[in-house]
Amino acid sequence: MKKALIAAIVLGTLASPAFANLQMAQKYGCTACHDVGTKKIGPAFKDIAKKYAGDKSAETKLTAKVKKGGSGVWGTMPMPPQAQVNDADLKTLVKWVLATK
Protein backbone atom coordinates (compact mmCIF):
# COMPACT_ATOMS: atom_id res chain seq x y z
CA MET A 1 0.00 0.00 0.00
CA LYS A 2 2.79 2.39 0.96
CA LYS A 3 4.66 1.74 -2.32
CA ALA A 4 1.50 2.33 -4.35
CA LEU A 5 0.89 5.65 -2.59
CA ILE A 6 4.48 6.78 -3.20
CA ALA A 7 4.26 5.75 -6.86
CA ALA A 8 0.99 7.65 -7.28
CA ILE A 9 2.52 10.78 -5.74
CA VAL A 10 5.64 10.57 -7.92
CA LEU A 11 3.66 9.96 -11.11
CA GLY A 12 1.24 12.75 -10.25
CA THR A 13 4.14 15.13 -9.66
CA LEU A 14 5.77 14.20 -12.96
CA ALA A 15 2.55 14.52 -14.97
CA SER A 16 1.31 17.73 -13.37
CA PRO A 17 3.61 20.26 -15.09
CA ALA A 18 2.62 19.18 -18.61
CA PHE A 19 -1.05 19.09 -17.72
CA ALA A 20 -0.83 22.40 -15.85
CA ASN A 21 0.78 24.08 -18.86
CA LEU A 22 -1.87 22.73 -21.21
CA GLN A 23 -4.42 24.15 -18.79
CA MET A 24 -2.56 27.47 -18.89
CA ALA A 25 -2.60 27.42 -22.70
CA GLN A 26 -6.35 26.82 -22.54
CA LYS A 27 -6.80 29.57 -19.95
CA TYR A 28 -5.16 32.15 -22.20
CA GLY A 29 -6.96 30.96 -25.34
CA CYS A 30 -3.86 29.58 -27.08
CA THR A 31 -5.74 26.41 -27.95
CA ALA A 32 -8.27 28.36 -30.00
CA CYS A 33 -5.63 28.53 -32.73
CA HIS A 34 -3.02 25.94 -31.68
CA ASP A 35 -3.14 22.26 -30.75
CA VAL A 36 -0.44 20.09 -29.22
CA GLY A 37 -0.13 17.69 -32.13
CA THR A 38 -2.02 19.00 -35.15
CA LYS A 39 -2.11 22.24 -37.09
CA LYS A 40 -5.21 24.37 -36.56
CA ILE A 41 -5.21 28.05 -37.52
CA GLY A 42 -1.65 28.22 -36.23
CA PRO A 43 1.04 25.55 -36.07
CA ALA A 44 0.95 22.63 -33.64
CA PHE A 45 2.98 23.16 -30.48
CA LYS A 46 5.10 20.10 -31.36
CA ASP A 47 5.91 21.64 -34.76
CA ILE A 48 7.01 24.86 -33.09
CA ALA A 49 9.26 22.85 -30.75
CA LYS A 50 10.73 20.96 -33.71
CA LYS A 51 11.39 24.15 -35.71
CA TYR A 52 13.23 25.82 -32.82
CA ALA A 53 15.05 22.74 -31.49
CA GLY A 54 18.67 23.59 -30.84
CA ASP A 55 18.09 27.34 -31.17
CA LYS A 56 19.51 28.82 -27.97
CA SER A 57 17.65 32.09 -28.53
CA ALA A 58 14.28 30.41 -29.20
CA GLU A 59 12.81 31.18 -25.78
CA THR A 60 13.58 34.89 -26.11
CA LYS A 61 12.35 35.03 -29.72
CA LEU A 62 9.10 33.21 -29.03
CA THR A 63 8.37 35.13 -25.85
CA ALA A 64 8.64 38.41 -27.79
CA LYS A 65 6.62 37.04 -30.71
CA VAL A 66 3.77 35.84 -28.50
CA LYS A 67 3.70 39.11 -26.54
CA LYS A 68 3.87 41.40 -29.61
CA GLY A 69 2.29 39.17 -32.26
CA GLY A 70 3.81 38.33 -35.60
CA SER A 71 3.37 36.93 -39.08
CA GLY A 72 5.17 35.33 -41.95
CA VAL A 73 6.95 32.46 -40.20
CA TRP A 74 4.11 29.92 -40.48
CA GLY A 75 2.16 31.36 -43.39
CA THR A 76 0.03 34.39 -44.04
CA MET A 77 -2.24 34.21 -40.97
CA PRO A 78 -0.92 36.72 -38.40
CA MET A 79 -0.77 35.90 -34.72
CA PRO A 80 -2.34 38.72 -32.74
CA PRO A 81 -0.43 40.14 -29.75
CA GLN A 82 -1.05 38.33 -26.48
CA ALA A 83 -0.17 41.23 -24.16
CA GLN A 84 -2.71 40.02 -21.56
CA VAL A 85 -0.46 37.08 -20.63
CA ASN A 86 1.73 38.02 -17.67
CA ASP A 87 5.47 37.58 -18.13
CA ALA A 88 5.85 34.64 -15.71
CA ASP A 89 3.05 32.66 -17.37
CA LEU A 90 4.33 33.57 -20.82
CA LYS A 91 7.79 32.22 -19.97
CA THR A 92 6.21 29.02 -18.60
CA LEU A 93 4.09 28.59 -21.73
CA VAL A 94 7.00 29.15 -24.11
CA LYS A 95 9.21 26.70 -22.22
CA TRP A 96 6.40 24.14 -22.31
CA VAL A 97 5.83 24.64 -26.04
CA LEU A 98 9.56 24.26 -26.74
CA ALA A 99 9.62 21.02 -24.73
CA THR A 100 6.58 19.54 -26.53
CA LYS A 101 7.34 16.36 -28.43
**Which residue ranges make up the annotated binding site?**
30, 34, 79
Residue ranges for the known binding site for heme c are 30, 34, 79
Q: How far apart are CA 90 and CA 8, in angstroms?
A: 29
> Is the Cα torsion angle 83, 84, 88, 89 positive or negative in sign?
negative
For 30, phi then psi, to 5°, come to: -60, -35
